[in-house]
Structure 1
Amino acid sequence: MTAAVTLQAFDPFRSGKLVLYQVTYSSGWHGFEMIPFALLGILGGIYGGLFIKMNMKIAGWKKGNAWLPGPITQVAIIAILTALINYPNFYMRAQASELVYSLLAECSKVVDDQFVGIIMEIWVHNHPTFFPFASCEPDVPCVTPGTYAIIGAAAALGGVTRMTVSIVVIMFELTGALTYVLPIMIAVMLSKWIGDAFGKRGIYESWIHFNEYPFLDNSEETVIPDIPSPAQICSKTAFWPSIKSLRFEVESKPPTNMTGLPHLHGIMFIESRT
């Protein structure tokens, strides 16, 4: 409570809101929307798996071509091309925060919202008597396309990173859409399962392995061989029938890289490894 009051007092976003893209929806989600929500999760998993494979192929191609310019030059070229492509579009001239808020917010016009949400709203509007839409109130917007943008963004991020709970928490903290936590969870879990079918590694783990950094990946199973500990710390060197010959062998044995103390096991001369 103290943290929330302090955040409200500082107003870091200069918007009077506690979260960056706070949105308010006049209606909640309905049971029949679980099907398109699940579809968004599946599409997010497919997108994530293909994105990782394509990203790694491009990275391998760049690594094998020494004639390419440096990373700063590459970023500058991409930035210039992005500006040339986006600037003619009126909607892309605004700030990124304004664009994201417009995408997620509730509005009466559907042309600026998420594609799947547009299809669902048109379907409900044209077929209001269809039995899955029986829970919709007449003359009241039943489907909010902006919610599909939130769930689609979470599914795409889950398919790329293979994170689950953290993405749900991040999306809730960014938008404040507590009502849609369950659909977001379902879409994120489906995107992770579909993404795992393409490969167990997310984008972060893929880059770690690509750069050959030391990393213990918990998604990879390592079979530890069943080797007794004496076989690891001891080596049998010789068999001697008498103490005199054993003393002679110990005193005359040339130095080796092994350290430790020799000891007897029965009548076998054992050299200890440390």
Structure 2
Amino acid sequence: MGVFGGVSGALFVKINAALTTHRQRFISSKPAKVLEVALISFLTTSVGFVLIWLIDDCSPIAYTTSPNPLKLMCADNEFNSLSSLLFTTPERSLRTLFHDPPSSFKVSSLIIFFMIYYFIACITYGLAVPAGLFIPSLLIGASWGRVVGSWMNSSYPSQFPDPGKFALIGAAAQLGGIVRMTLSLTVILMEATGNVIVGLPLLMTLIVAKYTGDYLSETIIEKLTDEDLDLFIDFRPYMCEAPYSVPELRGMITRKDLCRFRFEAYGDAFRVEELAFSRKITKPVAS
């Protein structure tokens, strides 16, 4: 599971970096960003509703721990497990994947949800809206981890009675494969679950996911920093005499180029004339 988390995390990083490059080149104005958010919101909602309409995924309502289960396209005393994952908050979906009994979700529904949510998380991280990676990454991993847990429960029910534990391990593997942290994530997930016993399995999974992901790609922060050369526009006068556009510079500038400059550092207090003199002699300034 750690290896799969590292591979899927590295793929997530590569896809999101490619989308970020596309956004920087072609979606730069405010109206375009608003239109992109509206189109993606409409697309994801429409796809989710169509899948719920096409797929019969009704289960007895006794199989869920949710206080308000969704009954879309289902009879009385039944709930739609796929809609309970798609059309609710990510936190509640994560809670149901961790705590619902083994018969709550069909494996096919979990696989469909994993593919849909993986795609949604890839395209939404980087939109002009407040969004993060922590909960979406946990939810992606919990979905495929629950698939593994369901398979193990059906094959060895006495040894693996709770697929929710596999959902937790999968959530850790997916998040570790994207952000590549080990000890801090182990402590965070232990505190979140209130279970010290899962500490060692989580740590082992996160270590494997980290090194697998590091072998395949950079972390998502490093990758997006490489792509986001808007941060380095002020360095253009020092690097080349001819004017270049940002897309052209993106393929030309490396971190090695930036490290060639001799920086002039200042403390908390300095005179304006000192700063003006440093800019005049074309030195980057750091305070």
Shorter-chain TM range is 0.5 to 0.7
Counterpart residue number, 1:173? 191
Q: Distance in 1 between matches of 2:156 and 2:94?
A: 25
Counterpart residue number, 1:61? 22
Q: Distance in 1 between matches of 2:225 and 2:4?
A: 25
Counterpart residue number, 2:33? 71
Q: Distance in 2 between matches of 1:67 and 1:167?
A: 34
Post-superposition Cα deviations, 1:186-209, rounded to whole Å, max 9, x if no partner, equal 11110000001113x211121122
Q: Which amino acid aligns with 2:11?
A: L
Post-superposition Cα deviations, 1:161-195, rounded to whole Å, max 9, x if no partner, equal 11111211222222223221111111111000000
Cα 1:58/1:184, change in 2 over 3 Å: same
Name which of 74, 81, 94 aligns with 2:88.
Answer: 94
Post-superposition Cα deviations, 1:94-132, rounded to whole Å, max 9, x if no partner, equal 33322211101152426367111111112214xxxxxxx
Cα 1:85/1:205, change in 2 over 3 Å: same
Shift of 1:61: 2.7
Counterpart residue number, 2:148? 116
Percent identical pairs in the alignment equals 27
Q: Distance in 1 between matches of 2:91 and 2:174?
A: 19
Counterpart residue number, 1:210? 227
Counterpart residue number, 1:16? none
Counterpart residue number, 1:42? 3
**Contact 1:110–1:118 (CA under 8 A) maintained in structure 2:** no
Q: Distance in 2 between matches of 1:119 and 1:84?
A: 30
Shift of 1:52: 0.9
**Contact 1:110–1:145 (CA under 8 A) maintained in structure 2:** no
Between 179-188 and 51-60, report the one with greater CA deviation: 51-60
- The SS at the match of 1:90 is helix
RMSD over aligned Cα, in angstroms? 3.0
Counterpart residue number, 2:43? 81
Between 65-74 and 182-191, report the one with greater CA deviation: 65-74
2:7 maps to 1:51: no
Between 190-199 and 164-173, report the one with greater CA deviation: 164-173
Post-superposition Cα deviations, 1:66-108, rounded to whole Å, max 9, x if no partner, equal 6986222212221222222224453223333222111011524
Give structure 1 stretches of 5+ with no counterpart. 1-39, 126-139, 215-219, 225-256, 258-274
Give structure 2 stretches of 5+ with no counterpart. 53-81, 107-142, 233-254, 260-280, 282-287
Q: Distance in 1 between matches of 2:195 and 2:46?
A: 35
Post-superposition Cα deviations, 1:132-151, rounded to whole Å, max 9, x if no partner, equal xxxxxxxx564421011111
Higher helix share: 2
Q: Distance in 2 between matches of 1:62 and 1:94?
A: 28
Q: Distance in 2 between matches of 1:66 and 1:118?
A: 42
Q: How do 1:151-166 and structure 2 match up within 5 A?
A: 151-166=169-184
Name which of 188, 195, 214 aligns with 2:206.
Answer: 188
Cα 1:90/1:53, change in 2 over 3 Å: closer
Counterpart residue number, 2:165? 147
Q: Which amino acid aligns with 1:51?
A: F
Cα 1:156/1:98, change in 2 over 3 Å: same
Cα 1:124/1:110, change in 2 over 3 Å: farther
Q: How do 1:235-274 and structure 2 match up within 5 A?
A: none
If the length of structure 1 is used for normalisation, what is the TM-score?
A: 0.53
Counterpart residue number, 1:265? none
Shift of 1:155: 0.7
